[in-house]
Amino acid sequence: MIYFDNSATTAVHPAVLDTYVKTSQRILGNPSSLHRLGNQASRLLNESRKQIAEMLAVDPSEIFFTSGGTEGNNWIIKGTALAKADFGKHIIISAVEHSAVSAAALQLTDLGFEVSVAPVDERGQVRVDKVKELLRPDTILVSVMAVNNEVGAVQPIREIGDLLKEHPTTHFHVDAVQGLGKIPTSRFLTKRVDFVTFSAHKFHGPKGTGFIYWKKGRRIEPLLNGGGQESQQRSGTENVPGIVAMARAVRLHLTDQELKNKREQNIKDYLIDSLKKYPKVTLFSEANEDYAPHIVCFGLKDIKGEVLVHAFETKDIIISTTSACSSKSKVSGSTLSAMAVPEAKAITAVRLSINADTTMVEAEQFMVAFNQLQEKFSKINN
CATH of the domain at 261: 3.90.1150.10
**Please, which pLDDT band fits residue 326 given cuts at 50, 70 and 90?**
low
Among 230, 254, 278, identify where a domain stops.
254
Among candidate residues 69, 340, 40, the one with its CA nearest the CA of residue 196: 69
Supply the residues annotated as catalytic. Answer: 325
Checking if the pLDDT of 6 tops 90, the result is: yes
Residues 119 and 230 in one domain: yes
Rg over CA atoms, the chain? 21
**Please, which pLDDT band fits residue 379 given cuts at 50, 70 and 90?**
confident
Residues 191 and 208 in one domain: yes
- pLDDT score recorded for residue 322: 74
Checking if the pLDDT of 330 tops 50, the result is: no
Identity (one letter) of the amino acid at 245?
A
Residues 78 and 179 in one domain: yes
81 membership: H or E segment, kind and range: helix 69-84
pLDDT digits (tens, 9 = 90+) for 158-176: 999 999 999 999 999 999 9
Checking if the pLDDT of 263 tops 50, the result is: yes
Among candidate residues 149, 148, 170, the one with its CA nearest the CA of residue 161: 170
Residues 178 and 323 in one domain: no
Among 254, 287, 302, identify where a domain stops.
254
- Across all residues in the chain, what is the average pLDDT? 96
Sign of the Cα pseudo-torsion (287, 291, 293, 297, in order): negative
pLDDT digits (tens, 9 = 90+) for 100-151: 999 999 999 999 999 999 999 999 999 999 999 999 999 999 999 999 999 9
Residues 90 and 176 in one domain: yes
SS3 218: coil
Average the pLDDT over 64-73 and give the result.
Answer: 98
**Please, which pLDDT band fits residue 54 given cuts at 50, 70 and 90?**
very high
Checking if the pLDDT of 331 tops 50, the result is: no
**Please, which pLDDT band fits residue 36 given cuts at 50, 70 and 90?**
very high
Residues 289 and 230 in one domain: no
Among 190, 220, 254, identify where a domain stops.
254
Looking up residue 56, the CATH number of its domain turns out to be: 3.40.640.10
Residues 127 and 225 in one domain: yes
Residues 238 and 141 in one domain: yes
- Distance (Å, rounded) from C-alpha 4 to C-alpha 9? 10
Checking if the pLDDT of 346 tops 80, the result is: yes
Checking if the pLDDT of 324 tops 70, the result is: no
Average the pLDDT over 241-253 and give the result.
Answer: 98
Residues 33 and 119 in one domain: yes
- pLDDT score recorded for residue 255: 97
**Phi, psi (deg, nearest 5) at residue 153:** -65, 130
Average the pLDDT over 10-29 and give the result.
Answer: 97
Cβ atoms of 322 and 80 within 8 Å: the answer is: no
Query: What letter would DSSP give residue 380?
Result: H
Q: Give percent above pLDDT 70 in the chain.
A: 97
**Please, which pLDDT band fits residue 89 given cuts at 50, 70 and 90?**
very high
pTM metric for this prediction = 0.95
Number of domains observed in the structure of the chain: 2
Average the pLDDT over 320-334 and give the result.
Answer: 61
Residues 199 and 222 in one domain: yes
Which structural domain, as residue segments, surrounds residue 359? 2-9+256-381
214 membership: H or E segment, kind and range: strand 210-214
Residues 244 and 321 in one domain: no
Residues 209 and 338 in one domain: no
The contacts of residue 355 (CB under 8 Å, 6+ apart) are 6, 10, 204, 264, 294
Average the pLDDT over 60-87 and give the result.
Answer: 98
Average the pLDDT over 28-49 and give the result.
Answer: 96
Residue 93: strand pairing partners: 117, 143
**Please, which pLDDT band fits residue 25 given cuts at 50, 70 and 90?**
very high
The contacts of residue 304 (CB under 8 Å, 6+ apart) are 347, 348
